[in-house]
Amino acid sequence: MTYYVYVEPDPERRTAAGAAYADDSFDVVHQMSDLDEHLQRNPETLLVVIGATVDLEEALSFAAYQRVQRPLLGALLLRPSVEPDVLARAMRSGIREVIQELDIEGIRASAARSVDLSKALSTTMRGTDGTLNAKVITVFAGKGGCGKSVVATNLAAALSAQGTRRVLLVDLDLQFGDVAIMLQLPPARSITDAIGMAGRLDETGLRSVLTAYRPNFDVLLAPASPAEGEHVSRELVSEVLEVARGMYDFVVVDTPPFVTDQVLAALDLSDWFVPIVTPDLPTLKSIRLTVEMFDLLEYPRERRLVVFNRADSQVGLTVKDVEEAVGAHLSVHMPSSRDVPVSVNKGIPITLDDPTHPVSLAMRRLADRCAGTAAAEPPPKRRMFAFGRKR
């Protein structure tokens, strides 16, 4: 696992570093401008060593930006000589240490200190009790094509709120997951890469199988080939979600159109259940069966946020019909719009591309409910199903 990246425009210095640190493994990039892409591809990176010939202003503005975007990432600055004014400015921008470029031992020691600090910070950021702080939100429907993946990707984008919250989107549609396509992500890493770590998955291990999408917004993709998905156990899904809970504010889970063992693992750990319904009888029938199962499993009703997708379709079913079938209030009404398939084909969630679109507004309302920043709705008047004890 490579935690370090060294940025140095000067080829001679790059070669010298290779010899000096032959026993350490680190990645090298040539320009500061290449760094962001490198960090996107290697989200497990904990340290950037900024080489002695990198422009000082570029180095300082990078550090100041990353201090907010990736607070766990450490930055060390190498200089031909350590000047007091440079040192002061570096510290103010968030650079952890400034070291003379030939001080190999000093660089090694600073690097080790910085990585230790990043690891310790990642533990503290888990919350005061050292564990669980993310809310897990599972999006599901009893039938295909209701808009689960559209809702999951847009809800995750809305929750991320331009990177001010840490969000992980997990594609549990292990056979035919669409998240990679909907976000235009290369399917290089997937949940199946975590199989070898089952039983001992930690934060670094999980990070190594994630794909960064935006700052503070990562994705755990479904495998590229449908057959691989079969090897993902229910236990692995639980383990992934438990570890992710310590790393994010929200974990959004997209699911296949039926309840699998892996989906049950996610549901068992969920804080919010987001059923998607559309106004057609087959969907209502299947969601009703799903809801009955939820009642049997005692997933609390007050934790269900029903999304009524294509709510404006004039097809003869009223809101009341739908609410009766689902046995719950409809929390969010999402209109039908051709801009939705257009956004899917474009590979950019509509919430990011057109934040004031009615669909985007609906997704932000849902995000506000999940984040607890919107008023709760009144409890349902009618109990549709005789069984099902609320927790």
Query: Residues in the site for ligand ATP, rule: CB under 6 A?
Result: 141, 144-150, 173, 178, 257, 309-310, 334, 336-337, 340-341, 344, 359
Contact between 110 and Mg ion per CB under 5 A: no
As measured in angstroms, the least distance from the Cβ of 334 to ligand ATP is 5
CA distance readout (Å), 132 to 196, 243, 279: 24, 8, 37
Q: Which is nearer to ligand ATP, 74 or 142 (CB)?
A: 142
Q: Which is nearer to ligand ATP, 134 or 179 (CB)?
A: 179
**Pairing state of beta strands 135-140 and 250-254?**
parallel
The continuous run of DSSP H or E covering 272 comes out as: strand 272-277
* Cβ(319)–Cβ(330) below 8 Å: yes
CA distance readout (Å), 118 to 73, 212, 219: 7, 19, 21
Other CB atoms within a 10 A radius of the CB of residue 282 amount to: 10
Q: Which is nearer to ligand ATP, 80 or 144 (CB)?
A: 144
Choice from 110, 149, 160, 286 touching Mg ion (CB under 5 A)? 149
As measured in angstroms, the least distance from the Cβ of 313 to ligand ATP is 9
Q: Which is nearer to Mg ion, 149 or 260 (CB)?
A: 149
**Location of structure tokens 């004890």:** 389
From the list Mg ion, ligand ATP, none, partner contacted by residue 146 (C-beta under 5 to 8 A by kind): ligand ATP
Which tokens sit at 347?
A: 């590979």
As measured in angstroms, the least distance from the Cβ of 379 to Mg ion is 30
Contact between 66 and Mg ion per CB under 5 A: no
As measured in angstroms, the least distance from the Cβ of 369 to ligand ATP is 18
Q: Which is nearer to Mg ion, 74 or 223 (CB)?
A: 223
From the list ligand ATP, Mg ion, none, partner contacted by residue 337 (C-beta under 5 to 8 A by kind): ligand ATP
Which tokens sit at 260?
A: 């699998």
* Cβ(247)–Cβ(166) below 8 Å: yes
Q: Which stretch binds Mg ion (CB under 5 A): 33-41, 144-152, 180-188, 373-381?
A: 144-152
Q: Which stretch binds Mg ion (CB under 5 A): 27-35, 86-94, 170-178, 337-345?
A: 170-178
Choice from 24, 27, 36, 178 touching Mg ion (CB under 5 A)? 178
From the list Mg ion, ligand ATP, none, partner contacted by residue 332 (C-beta under 5 to 8 A by kind): none
Distance of CA 213 to the CA centre of its chain: 8
* Cβ(80)–Cβ(86) below 8 Å: no
**Pairing state of beta strands 4-7 and 47-50?**
parallel
As measured in angstroms, the least distance from the Cβ of 373 to ligand ATP is 23
From the list Mg ion, ligand ATP, none, partner contacted by residue 138 (C-beta under 5 to 8 A by kind): none
The continuous run of DSSP H or E covering 50 comes out as: strand 47-50
As measured in angstroms, the least distance from the Cβ of 342 to ligand ATP is 8
As measured in angstroms, the least distance from the Cβ of 42 to ligand ATP is 30
Runs of H (alpha helix) within the chain: 11-20, 35-41, 56-69, 84-93, 104-124, 148-160, 179-182, 203-207, 234-245, 261-268, 281-296, 319-326, 339-346, 350-353, 358-371
From the list Mg ion, ligand ATP, none, partner contacted by residue 341 (C-beta under 5 to 8 A by kind): ligand ATP
Q: Crossing angle, helix 148-160 and helix 358-371, to 10 degrees?
A: 70
Q: Which is nearer to ligand ATP, 101 or 173 (CB)?
A: 173
Residues engaged in binding Mg ion (CB under 5 A): 148-149, 178
